[in-house]
Amino acid sequence: MELLLPPHQGVELSVVDMHTGGEPLRIIVAGYPEVRGDSVLSKRSELPEADLGVLFMHNEGYSTMCGHAVIALGRFAVDYKLVKEPQSPETQVNIHCPCGLVKAFVEYSAGKTGAVRFLSVPAFAFATDVMVKVEGFGEVMVDISYGGAFYAFVEAQRFGLDVKQSRTRDLVDAATAVTRAVKSQVKLHHPISDDLAFLYGTILTDGLDKFSPEPTANICVFAEAQVDRSPTGSGVTARVALQYHKGLIQLNQTRTFQSGATGSQFTGKAVEETTCGDFRAVVVEVAGRAFYTGVSRFVQEPEDKLAQGFLLQ
């Protein structure tokens, strides 16, 4: 029996649910309020090249880049015919993200979509070996890198933790403390826009940054202490840029990055040297797989005083 919504005067939201490496994504395809404003980021010159534009939402607001979402959106765009006739073996999907134009390439064969890779905006190491005072942990040395968003990087071992074995709560507490310390003690800047110059989160690593065929694990804590179940697409981008800056990997050396939370994997490699203002930068290719999990319709009725939602801290 098909279930239909009863008559109502509310607003309907139609969504498609997916996940990439265990990290969920809800794509709003209809019902989202009209987006207004002429911010600098919304007027970027790459916009006419894009097949679609996107805003990324999370539990704290909006982010400038989301790699796991780009992987899912690439597949979604081809399957839902948001791009021209698909091409084999790959179909290109240009996605206008708040950080700039990101080019995704979707495997396509016999009418079916598969894995997705994307080329990042210029990614760069912002600062290395920065000492910050972290509440509860004393002085901690961190690296800061940009991959469409800024992240602080530190080895989990510094806190006596393991990204695969330690309790998630302990990892979140350590990463959140680092994020707060960096935000209060380090001033970030981005050559393109001040709107990009904020710390999105902290990534705890297993410390295996030197090139190896074996996977290296990390866990990302971003926004309001939210844990990424995937290896984090923009985080992988930033980590590859950092490894390249330190001479730990070379161009076109593919590394495998594993989520400490789910064990899911992305690959990443620096494919081209470039610049971003005065920063030496690289274009990073990140690849992974996304899967569909559902299609839904939601309703917001005008009499519902909780229709806008609420957070439990």
Active site residues: 66
CB 17 within 8 A of CB 25: yes
* Beta bridge partners of residue 189, listed in sequence order: none
CB 152 within 8 A of CB 182: yes
* Distinct helix (H) and strand (E) counts, the chain: 3, 18
Question: What whole-number distance in Å separates Cα of residue 228 and Cα of residue 303?
Answer: 34
Task: Please report how many Cα atoms fall inside a 13 Å half-sphere around the Cα of residue 91, on the Cβ side.
Answer: 26
Closest C-alpha among 31, 27, 29, 26 to residue 13: 31
Question: What whole-number distance in Å separates Cα of residue 247 and Cα of residue 159?
Answer: 26
Buried (b) or exposed (e) across 31-66, using 16+ Cβ within 10 A? eeeeeeeeeebeebeeeeebbeebebeeeeeebbbb
CB 262 within 8 A of CB 297: no
Please name the residue that has the structure tokens 């994504």.
25
